[in-house]
Structure 1
Amino acid sequence: MSIQLRRATRRFRHRPIFTDLDLDVPQGARLLLAGDNGSGKTTLLRCLAGTLALTAGRISVAGEPVGSPAARRLVGLCLAPEQGLYGRLSARDNLRLVARLRLPRRSVEPATARVIEELGIGTYADRPAEKCSAGMRARVSIARALLGDPVVLLLDEPTRSLDEPTRAMLWAALDRRRHLTCVIASHHREDRARCDSTLTLPVGR
């Protein structure tokens, strides 16, 4: 299993976000997280990434405890895709920065060039991120998550700021990585149709 949850529970103070969640996501699967705003989709993604600890239970990624250095190397994460870039750095340098952390030095430039081409970033790759539109920044954030050939990709509303041609670029990039396990929180109908299964999180579970 690429992702395994056992009795995973997360509370904020006394408010339950999700409780005793058991889940198995096989390699190459695409899981849609559905639910109303406030149901815990982003919280669950953060727990899967290891950036937020569970209150109880456990999560593993490819057999590694979530949050461990080994698990972090296997996960590509894109939360709030229009945000989170270094504004004064160019789109290309934002990508290089992550590539240097995740890849051998000789692979940095080829890997950066590949995701720039895949997501159609070339026309503004050398523009400061703070000068890019929300849709442009979203492309860079998604490209950044793909660097290093992760085993698991976690996406939070990735297509919210993307037009139809760019959404097609994203899904083409994912289709080229059939081994990649994707967990996607989205309200977009096309994203839902592209997923194999759905986990609906009720508010206050």
Structure 2
Amino acid sequence: MLAIRRAQRRFGRRVIFADLDLDVPVGARLFLGGSNGSGKTTLLRCLSGTLTLSAGQATVGGHPVGSLPARRLTGVCLAPEQGLYEKLSARENLALIARLRLPRRAVGPAVATMEQELDLTGYATLPMERCSAGMRARVSIARSLVAGPALLLLDEPGRSLDDRARLLLWEALGRRPEMTCVIASHDADDRRRCDSAVTLAVAP
């Protein structure tokens, strides 16, 4: 599902990561570890298409990252408490993404499923600007899942979640065994729940 070949990203003269080779098969759960500044978030941004690689290549389902076909296959939650439309409700934020990727008749059921799975029903109609960081994190994760992505990219998904919400997240992932996940995290429990791990090191 995800293939990375001799990937490099730098900012000016500063190299974030280099010569990275990686294959993540369909349905795998990959834990992306490393200290702060090692390039975890930068790599996820490159895979999502919001940054370009400085060298090398990466594909999602055989499509170059950043291309429209790759973006359609990818669900992204890189800042769990951010990136939501503040004036829209949780339900409206989910529906907005669902309408872009799903047939019209599938939007309502997809949104309702995510509201139930991540227990959003108690505040589904509240504007995001009135929600706590934990609520917002749940909505961001639900938004990344609502269209049924083949590849899911998560950056510190449990940072603002309580124990119950973290369990709901992993239960939701467990219902989607065919979905490939790359999860950047410092959490040991996230590591235990993944099939394999890659640790990035801070470039010298």
- The 2-side partners of 1:184 and 1:121 are apart by 22
Q: CA deviation at 1:122?
A: 0.3
- The 2-side partners of 1:12 and 1:117 are apart by 41
**Residue in structure 2 matched with residue 5 of structure 1 by the alignment:** 4
Q: Which amino acid aligns with 1:33?
A: L
Q: Which amino acid aligns with 2:32?
A: L
**Residue in structure 1 matched with residue 21 of structure 2 by the alignment:** 22
Q: Which amino acid aligns with 1:136?
A: M
Cα deviation 1:64-104 (Å, max 9, x = unaligned) = 11111100000000011001101111111011111111111
- Aligned-residue sequence identity (percent) comes to 65
> How is 1:33-182 mapped onto 2 (pairs within 5 angstroms)?
33-182=32-181
- The 2-side partners of 1:172 and 1:153 are apart by 15
Q: CA deviation at 1:34?
A: 0.6
Cα deviation 1:125-179 (Å, max 9, x = unaligned) = 0001010000000000000000211100000000111111111100000000000
Q: Any idea what SS the aligned residue of 1:22 has? A: strand
4+ runs of 1 displaced by more than 6 Å?
A: none
RMSD: 0.7
**Residue in structure 1 matched with residue 185 of structure 2 by the alignment:** 186
- The 2-side partners of 1:189 and 1:116 are apart by 27
Q: Which amino acid aligns with 1:200?
A: T
- The 2-side partners of 1:9 and 1:87 are apart by 35
Query: TM-score, normalised to structure 1's length?
Result: 0.98
Q: Any idea what SS the aligned residue of 1:145 has? A: helix
Q: CA deviation at 1:5?
A: 0.5
- Number of positions where the alignment pairs a residue of Structure 1 with one of Structure 2: 204
Q: CA deviation at 1:115?
A: 0.4
Q: Any idea what SS the aligned residue of 1:101 has? A: helix
Contact 1:102/1:147, CA 8 A, preserved across alignment: no
Q: Any idea what SS the aligned residue of 1:98 has? A: helix
Flag structure 2 segments of 5+ consecutive residues without an equivalent.
none
Flag structure 1 segments of 5+ consecutive residues without an equivalent.
none
